[in-house]
Amino acid sequence: MVNAARRPGLVIAVDGPSGAGKSSTSREVAARLGCAYLDTGSMYRALAVWCADHRIAADDTDAVVAAARDLPLEITPSPAGFTVALDGRDVTARLHRPEVSGMVSGYAAVRDARRSLNARMRAIIAASGRIVVEGRDITTVVAPDADLRVLLQADPARRIARREAELNGAADRKTVTEQVVGRDAADSASSKFETPAAGVVLIDSTELTLEQVVDKVIGLVPAELREPARAH
């Protein structure tokens, strides 16, 4: 039996392709379990924004690696108010614009830049104690020892429809399709997220509502870890 006063924190890692429901699911799970929330993809997007603003091309690998190492990144890991700032400037709203989605894979493919950002992710996880982390490589590279590791999947048509709804008309169907399917193809060169690794639970969200997926994830968390530890 786990002693509540000494119980370790809770780390839930959620992986999967674009539009599978990682963000919505992870935010809601974090809110219901009293956890912090980290969208690691936002860190790669922030790197892409910083590099674009400073005219650093994705194929200038030395400059990209240096940018990732020195990136003036500040993150508020909250499910209710997740924000990302660069050099003190809030860039959260900018991160999911089509032009950023179209270029992020090129920067994320730079191996040493990934290593630098992965180290930052692990530091945020360690500092948070209880956290739901979502994004590429989370279940296998960033948090392979998480208490629960989940791979969310969904068929491409459903993923494209979900991304269209998220963008609320900001991009047409062709652009959204290219972002979802094209980014999966680009990211697959540097990240494995299509099949679950050993110990990773696969959830197909194609025919499930958000609430059903959230319930499934929470149902997989050991009962003694669902409530934050309380001091006596």
20 is in an annotated binding site: yes
Higher pLDDT, 90 or 18: 90
Query: Does some domain include residue 225?
Result: no
DSSP string, 138-203: IIIII-TT-SEEEEEE--HHHHHHHHHHHHTTSS-HHHHHIIIIIHHHHHTTT---SSPPTTPEEE
Domain assignment present for 3: no
The answer as to whether 4 is a domain residue is no
In a domain, 232, yes or no: no
| 77 assigned to some structural domain | yes
pTM: 0.84
Average pLDDT estimate for 128-152: 94
User: Residue 161 falls within a domain, yes or no?
Assistant: yes
Q: What is the DSSP letter of 18?
A: T
Residue 22 annotated as part of some ligand binding site: yes
Is residue 216 a known part of a binding site? no
CB 82 within 8 A of CB 92: yes
The residue segments making up the domain with residue 148 are 10-218
Considering just the CA atoms, what is the radius of gyration of the chain in Å?
17
CATH, residue 186: 3.40.50.300
Residue 2 falls inside a structural domain: no
Which residues fall within 8 angstroms of residue 93, CB to CB, at 6 or more apart? none
227 within some domain: no
26 is in an annotated binding site: no
At residue 195 the predicted structure's pLDDT band, cuts being 50, 70 and 90, is confident
Provide mean pLDDT across the span 36-59: 97
Annotated binding residue at 105?
Answer: no
- Predicted confidence at residue 213, as pLDDT, reads 96
- The verdict on whether residue 23 carries a ligand-binding annotation is yes
CB atoms within 10 A of CB 160: 20
**Does residue 32 or residue 168 have the better pLDDT?**
32
What's the structural domain count of the chain? 1
